[in-house]
Amino acid sequence: MDTSIALEHIVLAATALGLGTCWIGMFNDEEIRNLIKLPPAFKIIALISLGYPREKTDLWAKVLHAIRPRKKLADIYSSEQYGSVG
Protein backbone atom coordinates (compact mmCIF):
# COMPACT_ATOMS: atom_id res chain seq x y z
CA MET A 1 0.00 0.00 0.00
CA ASP A 2 1.23 3.49 -0.84
CA THR A 3 2.36 5.26 2.34
CA SER A 4 0.36 8.41 1.60
CA ILE A 5 -2.78 6.31 1.23
CA ALA A 6 -2.09 4.59 4.57
CA LEU A 7 -1.66 7.97 6.28
CA GLU A 8 -4.86 9.21 4.67
CA HIS A 9 -6.71 6.18 6.08
CA ILE A 10 -5.40 7.01 9.56
CA VAL A 11 -6.62 10.61 9.22
CA LEU A 12 -10.04 9.51 7.92
CA ALA A 13 -10.46 6.90 10.67
CA ALA A 14 -9.53 9.44 13.34
CA THR A 15 -12.01 11.95 11.90
CA ALA A 16 -14.75 9.31 11.97
CA LEU A 17 -14.03 8.90 15.69
CA GLY A 18 -14.35 12.66 16.31
CA LEU A 19 -10.62 13.27 16.58
CA GLY A 20 -8.67 16.05 14.92
CA THR A 21 -5.42 15.42 13.07
CA CYS A 22 -2.64 17.40 11.50
CA TRP A 23 -0.31 15.84 8.94
CA ILE A 24 3.18 17.24 9.59
CA GLY A 25 5.68 17.00 6.76
CA MET A 26 8.39 19.38 7.98
CA PHE A 27 10.29 18.35 11.10
CA ASN A 28 13.78 17.71 12.43
CA ASP A 29 14.30 14.09 11.39
CA GLU A 30 17.23 13.50 13.74
CA GLU A 31 15.41 14.97 16.77
CA ILE A 32 12.33 12.80 16.19
CA ARG A 33 14.48 9.72 15.53
CA ASN A 34 16.29 10.25 18.85
CA LEU A 35 13.04 10.87 20.79
CA ILE A 36 11.51 7.56 19.76
CA LYS A 37 14.81 5.71 19.43
CA LEU A 38 14.05 4.67 15.85
CA PRO A 39 16.68 2.44 14.21
CA PRO A 40 18.47 3.87 11.13
CA ALA A 41 16.87 1.24 8.89
CA PHE A 42 13.54 3.11 9.08
CA LYS A 43 12.70 6.39 7.35
CA ILE A 44 10.35 8.95 8.89
CA ILE A 45 8.13 10.33 6.15
CA ALA A 46 5.52 12.24 8.16
CA LEU A 47 4.16 12.85 11.62
CA ILE A 48 0.49 12.98 12.53
CA SER A 49 -0.72 14.84 15.59
CA LEU A 50 -3.95 13.48 17.01
CA GLY A 51 -6.35 14.86 19.58
CA TYR A 52 -9.77 16.18 20.39
CA PRO A 53 -10.47 19.53 18.67
CA ARG A 54 -11.77 22.49 20.62
CA GLU A 55 -15.39 23.22 19.88
CA LYS A 56 -14.83 26.97 19.76
CA THR A 57 -11.72 29.13 19.79
CA ASP A 58 -12.26 32.61 21.17
CA LEU A 59 -10.50 35.73 19.90
CA TRP A 60 -8.19 35.95 22.95
CA ALA A 61 -6.92 32.41 22.34
CA LYS A 62 -6.15 33.32 18.72
CA VAL A 63 -4.21 36.42 19.82
CA LEU A 64 -2.20 34.45 22.39
CA HIS A 65 -1.41 31.78 19.81
CA ALA A 66 -0.08 34.42 17.44
CA ILE A 67 2.23 36.17 19.94
CA ARG A 68 3.53 33.52 22.33
CA PRO A 69 6.70 31.60 21.49
CA ARG A 70 6.51 27.99 20.39
CA LYS A 71 7.17 25.35 23.01
CA LYS A 72 10.10 22.99 22.61
CA LEU A 73 9.16 19.61 21.18
CA ALA A 74 10.45 17.80 24.28
CA ASP A 75 7.94 19.79 26.38
CA ILE A 76 4.87 18.74 24.43
CA TYR A 77 5.36 15.42 22.68
CA SER A 78 3.82 12.16 23.74
CA SER A 79 5.08 9.01 22.10
CA GLU A 80 6.24 5.50 22.54
CA GLN A 81 9.72 4.29 21.74
CA TYR A 82 10.37 1.95 18.88
CA GLY A 83 10.53 -1.65 20.09
CA SER A 84 9.10 -1.03 23.57
CA VAL A 85 5.89 -2.62 24.80
CA GLY A 86 3.48 -0.87 27.13
Q: Which helix (H) or strand (E) holds 8?
A: helix 3-16
Contact 73, 36 (CB under 8 A): no
Whether the predicted pLDDT of 10 surpasses 80: yes
For residue 82, the model assigns a pLDDT of 72
Residue 14's φ and ψ, nearest 5 degrees, are -65, -45
pLDDT at 57: 62
Range of the domain at 65: 3-76
Distance from C-alpha of 64 to C-alpha of 71, rounded to nearest angstrom: 13
How many domains is the chain built from?
1
Q: Residue range 53-74: average pLDDT?
A: 73
Residue 67 belongs to domain with CATH number: 3.40.109.10
- Our measurement of the distance from residue 71's CA atom to the centroid of its chain's CA atoms, rounded to an integer in Å, reads 14
User: Domain for residue 82, yes or no?
Assistant: no
Q: Convert the pLDDT of each residue in 25-58 to its tens digit.
A: 899 999 999 988 899 999 998 899 888 876 666 7
- Please state the pTM of the whole predicted model: 0.56
The span from the CA of 66 to the CA of 9, in Å, is 31
Q: Which helix (H) or strand (E) holds 22?
A: strand 20-24
